[in-house]
Chain A
Amino acid sequence: MNREDLRQMILEEISAIAPETDGVAVDDSEDLREALDLDSMDIFNLVVALSQRLGFDIPDADAPRLITLGGGVDYLAGRIAPR
């Protein structure tokens, strides 16, 4: 799974949680909460959805990494990469 796949996956899950945000352009470095008006429950749901889809636990302490699209892709890519 490459970075573009991960990016698409994050965007898909966000639009499932917040359909109103579908199609809104977001910069990789933008705070998703500000750009898309997401609250703590939305971020909670995003962490749950990505954990289930990828089949691994995203620790609560790592949740802040998902606040930007670029940060989320970096984080998930790092988790998936063979060690």
Chain B
Amino acid sequence: MPSLGSDMEAGILVEWMKQQGEKVSRGDIIAVVETDKGAIEVEVFEDGTLAELLVQPGEKVPVGTPLARITGPKDTASTERRHASAPAPTPAVPMPTVSSVQGAEAAIQPPTVTTLAEGSRATPAARLLASERGIDLALVKGTGPDGSIVRRDIEEAAPRAATVPDLEPMRRAIAAAMSRAKRDIPHYYLGHSFDVSQAVQWLDAYNAAHPPQERLLLGALTLKAVALALKDFPEFNGFYGPDGFVPASAIHIGTAIAMRGGGLAAPAIHNTDTLTLAELMERLRDLIGRVRKGGFRSSEISDPTITVSSLGDRGVDMLLPIIYPPQVAIIGFGSVAPRAWAIEDAVAVRPVLTATLAADHRASDGHRGALLLRRIGGLLDTPEDL
């Protein structure tokens, strides 16, 4: 059970993504664990076989409990026998501590005996420490007898404080998800700017006629427009898994919410397309409040079928977002700003909003993406129908 923060004592294994006996390769998601920070996918960093599952779904175990045993390829074992001065333990999913390595991803990294260079030696203590800290023994210069690597060499190669970025759990979750997205997902990007004067005027009139607690923000309108548009563009709403793209049966828009002082979460607003603007605004308000207090539900974290990221009124013109795996699309909205806008032969000043789409090219193509963005713009032109 990887540690995802100094305050984390235990986690629940939600499900195994691989079966016992299945071959696993570097980068595979092997399990999902639930912590008080949300559901986190656990990746494996070595090739091998998932020899034994030690924890069953639903079990809550303390940080450091081995979740599974992974055995390396045959040649690894022989390499070990040749070079280890004592029989090396079977590489197991290690027991990282808060101060071990770089967060959730690296925490599952098995010992790196497979990279041991020909002829180099390490004591068992050094080997153990290296595996705990995720150090590649091949890169360590030994100062022991005959140039063997001793514990002190590992300590010098990786002083505890220096190798341990004190990342907040949320930052680690972002790092894991975004690294995976950039590694695995062939993104394509589209952008389009709309004159949103219809939506802005409608919103001003609506808000003038309603008491403070019943007013709306433009963000509620853009979310609803995305949800309605997605009904005709199912290839952007769903998950990309081992068997390819699977469209979702409902539209749960993940809403990127920035934490003050850094960090980000994108929990779902369930069935976004079925909510009225007033309901959507209430849900958005509730969700933002809870996310910033750290109180969102794991279903809200694991359920989004697509994500929307809005920069709000203090942002910039546009953003080029990164898809949250296993989703296949994310839509970004820049800040609305007055711009010179051509209308037939004249130029007028209009409030302009730039929408961007990052989508997974394995699931969709740019032509359909362009139609989706245009549809969203068209829906914002008739805000009374949202």
Q: Which of B215, B218, B219 has the most CB of A within 10 A?
A: B215
Beta-carbon contact of B215 and A20 below 8 Å: no
The SS class assigned to the B binding surface is: helix
Q: What is the CB-to-nearest-CB distance from B6 to chain A, in angstroms, rounded to a whole number?
A: 19
Smallest Cβ-Cβ distance to A44: which chain B residue: B217
A23 at the interface (CB under 8 A from B): no
CB-CB < 8 A to A37: which residues of B?
Answer: 260-261
B285 at the interface (CB under 8 A from A): yes
Beta-carbon contact of B212 and A48 below 8 Å: yes
CB-CB < 8 A to A59: which residues of B?
Answer: 208
Q: What residues make up the interface of A, taking CB atoms closer than 8 Å to B?
A: 18, 20-21, 33-34, 37, 39-41, 44-45, 47-48, 51-52, 57-61
17 A–B contacts, CB within 8 A, in A order:
A18-B260, A21-B260, A33-B314, A34-B314, A39-B258, A39-B312, A39-B313, A41-B219, A41-B284, A41-B288, A45-B285, A51-B212, A51-B213, A52-B213, A57-B211, A58-B212, A60-B212
Q: What residues make up the interface of B, taking CB atoms closer than 8 Å to A?
A: 204, 207-208, 211-213, 215, 217-219, 258, 260-261, 284-285, 288-289, 292, 312-314
Q: Which of B208, B212, B292, B312 has the most CB of A within 10 A?
A: B212
Contact of A44 among B204, B211, B261, B285 (CB under 8 A): B285
CB-CB < 8 A to B284: which residues of A?
Answer: 41
Contact of A40 among B213, B219, B261 (CB under 8 A): B219
CA A47 to CA B213, docked complex, whole Å: 8
CB-CB < 8 A to B289: which residues of A?
Answer: 45
CA A37 to CA B262, docked complex, whole Å: 11
CB-CB < 8 A to A61: which residues of B?
Answer: 204, 208
CB-CB < 8 A to B215: which residues of A?
Answer: 44, 60
CB-CB < 8 A to B207: which residues of A?
Answer: 60
- Please judge, given known A-B contacts A57-B212, A58-B212, A60-B208, whether A41 and B217 are in contact too, CB under 8 Å: yes
Q: What is the CB-to-nearest-CB distance from A47 to chain B, in angstroms, rounded to a whole number?
A: 5
Beta-carbon contact of B261 and A20 below 8 Å: yes
CA A48 to CA B6, docked complex, whole Å: 37
CB-CB < 8 A to A34: which residues of B?
Answer: 314
CB-CB < 8 A to A58: which residues of B?
Answer: 212
The SS class assigned to the A binding surface is: helix
15 new A-B contacts at CB < 8 Å, known A52-B213, A60-B204: A18-B260, A33-B313, A39-B258, A39-B314, A40-B217, A40-B218, A40-B219, A40-B312, A44-B215, A45-B285, A48-B213, A52-B212, A57-B212, A58-B212, A61-B208
Smallest Cβ-Cβ distance to A36: which chain B residue: B260
Q: What is the CB-to-nearest-CB distance from B336 to chain A, in angstroms, rounded to a whole number?
A: 10
* In the complex, the 8 A-B pairs of residues with the closest C-beta atoms, listed nearest first: A60-B207, A48-B212, A51-B212, A48-B213, A39-B312, A47-B212, A20-B260, A37-B260
CB-CB < 8 A to B211: which residues of A?
Answer: 51, 57
CA A20 to CA B260, docked complex, whole Å: 8
CB-CB < 8 A to A60: which residues of B?
Answer: 204, 207-208, 212, 215
Q: What is the CB-to-nearest-CB distance from A18 to chain B, in angstroms, rounded to a whole number?
A: 6
CB-CB < 8 A to A39: which residues of B?
Answer: 258, 312-314
Q: What is the CB-to-nearest-CB distance from B346 to chain A, in angstroms, rounded to a whole number?
A: 28
CB-CB < 8 A to B219: which residues of A?
Answer: 40-41
Smallest Cβ-Cβ distance to B215: which chain A residue: A60
Contact of A41 among B204, B208, B213, B285 (CB under 8 A): B285
CA A53 to CA B218, docked complex, whole Å: 25
Smallest Cβ-Cβ distance to B203: which chain A residue: A60
Smallest Cβ-Cβ distance to A61: which chain B residue: B208
CA A37 to CA B315, docked complex, whole Å: 12
Smallest Cβ-Cβ distance to B259: which chain A residue: A20
- Please judge, given known A-B contacts A20-B260, A20-B261, A21-B260, whether A40 and B212 are in contact too, CB under 8 Å: no
CA A37 to CA B217, docked complex, whole Å: 18
Smallest Cβ-Cβ distance to A43: which chain B residue: B313
